[in-house]
């Protein structure tokens, strides 16, 4: 069994354990999670763990420019691991400062968290501020990033994903790289400086033989 140890700031429960004892935040301590964990990702105030059987547990909170927005439910943080409800096993997780990206065994991409800079790839700019009329649930519930592709299903399949603080990249099975999120310093590799709230035209193809990130 793989045990997760955490230490650091625990203001919103990002350590996933009780730190009421003096000095316990700065000393590594185990997270009470019985499942075998194969990968961990962390952001500003949240942590996620991927288990051997493809489940994802999260704890802490996501934040936006106005503060805490919650984790699985609006304005509710969690200091213990909570299971994300996904129908398909996940093979990789990556975190930005305040968003989480999950790649499934089927090659689909799911995102949740803050979407102010377009980093979720599925929330239009009009609704980026706390989900607009649909509220925070639009952001906090993991949902599919829709990217049209060729073939019978007409849906793009991905093989890899990685994040910066406020942007996301995804690599298709054909080796094309899509980016979305903040681009004020050309982070997406585009000429423009405005955020992209959905996967833009593919960037350069992934170099043949280049290892996954």
pLDDT in tens, the chain (213 residues): 589 999 999 999 999 999 999 999 999 999 999 999 999 999 999 999 999 999 999 999 999 999 999 999 999 999 999 999 999 999 999 999 999 999 999 999 999 999 999 999 999 988 888 888 789 999 999 999 998 765 555 678 999 999 999 999 999 998 889 999 998 777 887 767 777 788 876 665 656 666 665
**Residue-wise pLDDT tens digits, 127-136:** 888 888 789 9
- 23: region left, alpha or beta (phi > 0 left; psi from -120 to 50 alpha): left
Q: Can you tell me which residue has the tokens 């298709």?
A: 172
Q: How many helices (H) and strands (E) does the chain have?
A: 1, 15
The residue extents of the domains of the chain are: 5-181
Q: What are the C-alpha distances in Å from 66 to residues 75, 87, 161?
A: 12, 32, 27
- Nearest CA among 99, 119, 100, 118 for reference residue 39: 100
Instruction: For domain 5-181, give the fold.
Output: Methylamine Dehydrogenase; Chain H (2.130.10)
Burial class, 49, CB count within 10 angstroms (exposed 0-12 / middle 13-18 / buried 19+): buried
pLDDT tens figures, 6-17: 999 999 999 999
């Amino acid at each position: 069994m793989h045990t997760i140890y955490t230490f650091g700031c625990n203001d919103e429960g990002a350590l996933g354990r009780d730190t009421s004892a003096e000095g316990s935040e700065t000393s590594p301590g185990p997270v009470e999670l019985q499942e075998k964990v194969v990968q961990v990702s962390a952001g500003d105030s949240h942590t996620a763990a991927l288990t051997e059987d493809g489940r994802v547990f999260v704890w802490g909170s996501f934040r936006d420019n106005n503060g805490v927005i919650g984790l699985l439910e609006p304005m509710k943080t969690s200091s213990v691991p909570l299971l994300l409800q996904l129908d398909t096993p996940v093979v990789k997780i990556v975190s930005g400062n305040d968003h989480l990206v999950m790649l499934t065994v089927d090659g689909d991409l799911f995102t949740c968290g803050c979407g102010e800079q377009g980093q979720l790839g599925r929330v239009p700019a009009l609704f980026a501020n706390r989900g607009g009329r649909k509220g925070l649930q639009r952001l906090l519930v993991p949902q599919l990033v829709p990217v049209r592709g060729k073939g019978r299903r007409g849906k793009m399949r991905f093989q890899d994903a990685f994040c910066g603080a406020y942007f996301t990249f995804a690599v298709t099975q054909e080796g094309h790289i899509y980016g979305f999120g903040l681009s004020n310093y050309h982070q997406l590799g585009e000429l423009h400086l405005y955020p992209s709230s959905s996967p833009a035209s593919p960037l350069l193809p992934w170099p043949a033989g280049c290892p996954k990130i």
